[in-house]
């Protein structure tokens, strides 16, 4: 493998290690289990797990599970499966922020004892109103000067479930006039009664906020470098404030990088959840989704996703990555690794009039043109063949190099044929071609004439029927929802087309879900989970060439 691409976070880590600041680095990937992972998460996974691998450190998988209402065990399981599928390993166990609820509660009491936190009775609406704006300072809550004893007693009663949701919060006592709104006495705890948490059940009716939980969980795990996206830059002073004022064992450092934004895709779990819940896609693993599960089903390999994450790099500048970048990563991997096969997507029958009806010849073709170690496959050849409708033209446009009336074409891996006659249906559509085959052209050029076109084909007798699902971009604009539009209005109505009755070469008969192929001249395809022995189902992963912007 090539030397790891360097970037500013890698440089910080290397310098910290060189200076002896840490003996060993610890990073973490902290998803909230409220949805499936998407390609943006992959950027964070590759960064965090990749650093740990490269520097001989450790990366924790920690579920940031402080909003029980939107979280579920299904998401906890899918996230672990996706991280593993990407090829990364965490230590002996996964972590949950909820593992620390008791410890976090003790930390909150420490803040109360130092008069650095207080129980506030303002409603959510009043809390917002008192907070001020970017240009105006906030106002102190009327509850800000409560005594330590009163705060302790109220906080304990909050925990005991004595108060209604929304009636009280615990807030940090920092500075209502701070230019950084995140430091204007941020909320540390909220009451949520009657909620069953997927890990802690009904043990708690008090839940810590992200801003309180995150730095302290990092510190409890000995995280050295806590990497997050740029939106959290303004939260860093609060992150540092939390670890400064309670007795944590270690002091992690937060470093921000820009999130991945991908053209024609959305990465917000809120929107992805909506697509799933409203049935606008077939599920989290719909091959059009930018989720890891969707990309896997589409035919992406873990290698290609990791490679893409290396290619986009890690910086602090926001940008929109072209879909072509993701596609070239999978195209490059599949070009090198996918066996070749012939599949006719829009079949048109060809009958070879000078080939005996009962004669079947077994031809041989390489599974991969550049990798002999993949061996060969047998492709039967017979009197009746399928070719693609688009490879025949009765009134060919200028420069058309495929089959035309009276013209010749080479059948890939086989013979040259000539179209002798066209049989039409009553509306004049060609339904069958009668052709002749030149028996002297197997593996060599015909005598005295040049045949330019090469088309793929499948022998009818041994062909396997398949359904092929072609995918286009899920959204029809590069930045869905730009200008405040509803993103759903930007969905591409033609993002899925299903072709049935496709004809695949016999060697594909045993293809299993997850297997990937190059269909010669068509693109890269993966066997879908819906595939059955008597009707194969393939997803088009990507076309052979970049068609974005064409």
Sheet containing 496-504, strands listed edge to edge, beginning at the edge strand earlier in sequence: 340-341, 516-519, 523-527, 536-543, 464-471, 496-504, 343-344
Determine which residue in the list 30, 294, 347, 407 makes contact with ligand ATP, applying CB under 6 A.
30
Q: How far is the CB of 176 from ligand ATP (least distance, A)?
A: 27
For the beta carbon of residue 543, count every other beta carbon within 10 angstroms.
Answer: 14
Region of 15-23, 29-37, 72-80, 484-492 interacting with Mg ion (CB under 5 A): 29-37
Determine which residue in the list 40, 57, 339, 480 makes contact with ligand ATP, applying CB under 6 A.
40
Determine which residue in the list 229, 250, 492, 543 makes contact with ligand ATP, applying CB under 6 A.
229
Q: How far is the CB of 393 from ligand ATP (least distance, A)?
A: 45
Identity of the residue, 49 or 55, whose beta carbon is nearer to ligand ATP in the bound complex: 49
Q: Which does 146 bind (CB under 5 to 8 A by kind): ligand ATP, Mg ion, none?
A: none
Identity of the residue, 40 or 478, whose beta carbon is nearer to Mg ion in the bound complex: 40
The residue length of the chain stands at 550
Q: Phi and psi dihedrals of 450, rounded to 5?
A: -105, 130
Q: How far is the CB of 229 from ligand ATP (least distance, A)?
A: 4
290: helix, strand or coil: coil
* Interactions with ligand ATP, residue window 418-477 (CB under 6 A): none
Find residue 117's DSSP bridge partners.
Answer: 172
Identity of the residue, 82 or 505, whose beta carbon is nearer to ligand ATP in the bound complex: 82
Q: Across the chain, which distance is largest between two alpha carbons, in Å? A: 103
Find residue 95's DSSP bridge partners.
Answer: 62
Residue 27 to residues 14, 228, 260, 481, 485: CA-CA distances in angstroms? 14, 11, 19, 34, 37
Residue 280 to residues 67, 272, 273, 463, 493: CA-CA distances in angstroms? 26, 10, 10, 34, 10
Q: Phi and psi dihedrals of 338, rounded to 5?
A: -90, 130
Catalytic residue among 10, 32, 139, 412: 32
Asked whether position 43 contacts ligand ATP by CB under 6 A, the answer is yes
Q: Are 260 and 40 in contact (CB under 8 A)?
A: yes
Asked whether position 213 contacts ligand ATP by CB under 6 A, the answer is no
Determine which residue in the list 46, 117, 188, 260 makes contact with ligand ATP, applying CB under 6 A.
260
Find residue 226's DSSP bridge partners.
Answer: 254
* Interactions with ligand ATP, residue window 79-108 (CB under 6 A): none
Q: Which does 245 bind (CB under 5 to 8 A by kind): Mg ion, ligand ATP, none?
A: none
Specify whether 259 is catalytic.
yes
Residue 347 to residues 8, 132, 410, 464, 535: CA-CA distances in angstroms? 53, 67, 17, 12, 16
What b/e sequence results for 345-358 when a residue is b if at least 16 CB atoms lie within 10 Å of its CB, and e otherwise? Answer: bebbbbbbeebeee
Residue 43 to residues 54, 135, 227: CA-CA distances in angstroms? 16, 35, 11
Identity of the residue, 43 or 296, whose beta carbon is nearer to ligand ATP in the bound complex: 43
Q: Which does 367 bind (CB under 5 to 8 A by kind): ligand ATP, Mg ion, none?
A: none
Residue 53 to residues 4, 86, 222, 451, 523: CA-CA distances in angstroms? 11, 14, 17, 54, 34
Residue 276 to residues 36, 123, 260, 366, 471: CA-CA distances in angstroms? 11, 33, 22, 42, 17
> From CA 450, how far away is CA 312, in angstroms rounded?
45
* Interactions with ligand ATP, residue window 59-78 (CB under 6 A): 64
Indicate the residue whose CB is closest to ligand ATP: 40
Q: How far is the CB of 33 from ligand ATP (least distance, A)?
A: 8
Q: How far is the CB of 21 from ligand ATP (least distance, A)?
A: 22
Asked whether position 311 contacts ligand ATP by CB under 6 A, the answer is no
For the beta carbon of residue 479, count every other beta carbon within 10 angstroms.
Answer: 16
Catalytic residue among 159, 192, 259, 346: 259
Q: Which does 260 bind (CB under 5 to 8 A by kind): ligand ATP, Mg ion, none?
A: ligand ATP
Region of 31-39, 98-106, 137-145, 200-208 interacting with Mg ion (CB under 5 A): 31-39
Region of 18-26, 40-48, 50-58, 540-548 interacting with ligand ATP (CB under 6 A): 40-48
Q: How far is the CB of 131 from ligand ATP (least distance, A)?
A: 22
Q: Which long-range contacts (CB under 8 A, 24 or more apart) does 233-236 make?
A: 234/180, 234/181, 234/182, 235/182, 235/211
Distance of CA 419 to the CA centre of its chain: 46
How many residues at the interface with ligand ATP, by CB under 6 A? Answer: 15
Region of 29-37, 301-309, 420-428, 507-515 interacting with ligand ATP (CB under 6 A): 29-37
Find residue 352's DSSP bridge partners.
Answer: 435
How many residues at the interface with Mg ion, by CB under 5 A? Answer: 1
Q: How far is the CB of 40 from ligand ATP (least distance, A)?
A: 2
Q: How far is the CB of 261 from ligand ATP (least distance, A)?
A: 7
Catalytic residue among 269, 288, 306, 377: 269
Identity of the residue, 41 or 333, whose beta carbon is nearer to ligand ATP in the bound complex: 41
Asked whether position 259 contacts ligand ATP by CB under 6 A, the answer is yes
Identity of the residue, 32 or 438, whose beta carbon is nearer to Mg ion in the bound complex: 32
Q: How far is the CB of 325 from ligand ATP (least distance, A)?
A: 14
> From CA 424, how far away is CA 231, in angstroms rounded?
63
Contact residues: Mg ion, CB under 5 A: 32
Catalytic positions, please?
A: 32, 259, 269
Contact residues: ligand ATP, CB under 6 A: 30-32, 40-41, 43-44, 64, 228-229, 259-260, 267-269
């Amino acid at each position: 493998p090539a030397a790891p691409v360097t970037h500013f976070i890698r440089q910080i880590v290397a310098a910290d290690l060189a200076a002896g600041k840490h003996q060993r680095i610890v990073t973490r990937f902290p998803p909230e289990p409220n949805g499936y992972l998407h390609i943006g998460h992959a950027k964070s996974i590759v960064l965090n797990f990749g650093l740990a691998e490269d520097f001989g450190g450790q990366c924790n998988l920690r579920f940031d599970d402080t909003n029980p209402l939107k979280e579920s065990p299904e998401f906890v399981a899918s996230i672990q499966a996706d991280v593993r599928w990407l090829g990364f390993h965490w230590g002996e166990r996964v972590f949950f922020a909820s593992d620390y609820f008791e410890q976090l509660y003790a930390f909150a009491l420490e803040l109360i004892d130092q008069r650095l936190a207080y129980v506030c009775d303002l409603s959510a609406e009043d809390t917002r109103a008192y907070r001020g704006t970017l240009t105006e300072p906030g106002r102190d809550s009327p509850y800000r000067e409560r005594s330590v004893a009163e705060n302790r007693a109220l906080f304990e009663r909050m925990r005991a479930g004595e108060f209604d949701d929304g009636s009280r919060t615990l807030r940090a006592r920092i500075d209502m006039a701070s230019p950084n709104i995140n430091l204007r006495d941020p909320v540390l705890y909220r009451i949520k009664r009657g909620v069953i948490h997927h890990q802690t059940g009904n043990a708690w009716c008090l839940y810590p906020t992200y801003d309180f939980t995150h730095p302290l969980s990092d510190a409890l795990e000995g995280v050295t470098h806590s990497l997050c996206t740029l939106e959290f830059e303004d939260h860093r002073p609060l992150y540092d404030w939390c670890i400064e004022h309670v007795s944590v064992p270690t002091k992690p450092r937060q470093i921000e990088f820009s999130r991945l934004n991908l053209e024609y895709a959305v990465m917000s779990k809120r929107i992805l959840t909506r697509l799933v819940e409203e049935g606008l896609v077939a599920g989290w693993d719909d091959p059009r989704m930018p989720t890891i599960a969707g990309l896997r089903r589409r035919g992406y390999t873990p290698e290609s996703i990791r490679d893409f994450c290396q290619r986009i790099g890690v910086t602090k500048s926001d940008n929109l990555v072209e879909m072509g970048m993701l596609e070239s990563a999978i195209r490059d991997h599949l070009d090198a690794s996918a066996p070749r096969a012939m599949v006719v997507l829009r079949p048109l029958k060809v009958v070879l009039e000078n080939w005996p009806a009962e004669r079947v010849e077994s031809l041989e073709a390489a599974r991969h043109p550049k990798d002999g170690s993949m061996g060969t496959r047998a492709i039967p050849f017979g009197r009746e063949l399928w070719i693609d409708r688009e490879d025949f033209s009765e009134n060919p446009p200028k420069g058309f190099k495929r089959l035309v009336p009276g013209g010749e074409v080479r059948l890939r891996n086989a013979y040259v044929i000539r179209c002798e006659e066209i049989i039409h249906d009553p509306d004049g559509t060609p339904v069958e071609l009668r052709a002749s085959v030149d028996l002297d052209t197997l593996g060599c050029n015909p005598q005295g004439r040049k045949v330019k076109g090469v088309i793929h084909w499948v022998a009818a007798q041994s062909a396997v029927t398949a359904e092929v699902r072609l995918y286009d971009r899920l959204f029809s604009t590069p930045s869905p929802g730009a200008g405040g539009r509803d993103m759903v209005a930007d969905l591409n109505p033609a993002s899925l087309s299903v072709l049935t009755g496709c004809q695949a070469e016999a060697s594909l008969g045993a293809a299993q879900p997850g297997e990937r192929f190059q269909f010669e001249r068509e693109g890269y395809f993966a066997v879908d989970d819906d595939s059955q022995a008597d009707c194969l189902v393939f997803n088009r992963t990507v076309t052979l060439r970049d068609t974005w912007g064409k």
